[in-house]
Amino acid sequence: MASDSGAKIITAALELLRTRGPAAVTIEAVAAHSGVARTTIYRRYRNRDEMLTAALLDVGTPSAPDGELSGEDRLRWVVRQAASMVVDGIGFGGMAALITDTDPAFAELFRRVLGEHRTRLAEVLATGTAQGTLADGVDPDTVIDGIVGVLVAERARTGAIGPDWEGRVVAMFAPVALPADVRVGNPE
């Protein structure tokens, strides 16, 4: 039962963040949205920032991918995880608040979580470079920024993220990220 309450709190906090922005994520709003009593939430979290940090860490700390991955699969994993931090995490409302700095407390805590998230993605890219499945000289920060930038630009331009977005982004970054003798869709 306790873990069920925890999952409901995290889910509600993320749904409110994605749909209404960080200002909407209050203990009271999460209680109403989740059906979990405020007292239960306060037993877990001292305040909104702790609750929001826990919710963001839930989506923002991916486990390393299992097994050996081809360069293309490794790149696809990074694309998926980078996009997930926005789509499944802060949402575009949260992204707007982050960019415009309308909620400095949220921006500060999100940037802390984002730092951990990016470190994990960078480690996966570095492992690929060390294994020879990704090209030497791939700058993790630039790749991750490029992925998120393409995501935000597509949403701004069309109002949605196309179902083929992930594949298009992998194909776009492949010439830079994969070794010269490897192309997307070809076996390594």
In a domain, 185, yes or no: no
Residues 172 and 86 reside in one and the same domain: yes
Q: Are 39 and 4 in contact (CB under 8 A)?
A: no
Task: Please choose, from the candidates 145, 131, 61, 56, the residue with its C-alpha nearest in 3D space to the C-alpha of residue 94.
Answer: 56
Alpha carbon distance 150, 155 (integer Å): 9
At 112-144, the pLDDT tens digits run 999 999 999 999 999 999 999 999 999 999 999
In a domain, 47, yes or no: yes
pLDDT bracket for residue 185 (50, 70, 90): low
Q: Where do we find the tokens 């889910």?
A: 11
Residues 45 and 112 reside in one and the same domain: no
Look at residue 2 and tell me whether its pLDDT is greater than 50.
yes
pTM of the full structure: 0.88
Residues 12 and 66 reside in one and the same domain: no
In a domain, 36, yes or no: yes
Q: Which residues constitute the domain of residue 17?
A: 2-56
Alpha carbon distance 7, 59 (integer Å): 12
Domain count, the chain: 2
Which residues neighbour 136 within 8 Å (Cβ) at sequence distance 6 or greater? 129
Residues 120 and 172 reside in one and the same domain: yes
Alpha carbon distance 121, 124 (integer Å): 5
At 28-42, the pLDDT tens digits run 999 999 999 999 999
Task: Please choose, from the candidates 141, 123, 125, 145, the residue with its C-alpha nearest in 3D space to the C-alpha of residue 133.
Answer: 125
Residues 47 and 133 reside in one and the same domain: no
DSSP track, 59-110: HH-PPPPSS---HHHHHHHHHHHHHHIIIIIIHHHHHHHHHHTSSHHHHHHH
Residues 94 and 18 reside in one and the same domain: no
Alpha carbon distance 106, 146 (integer Å): 23
CATH of the domain at 16: 1.10.10.60
In a domain, 77, yes or no: yes
At 46-65, the pLDDT tens digits run 999 999 999 999 888 888 89
Residues 42 and 86 reside in one and the same domain: no
Alpha carbon distance 71, 58 (integer Å): 26
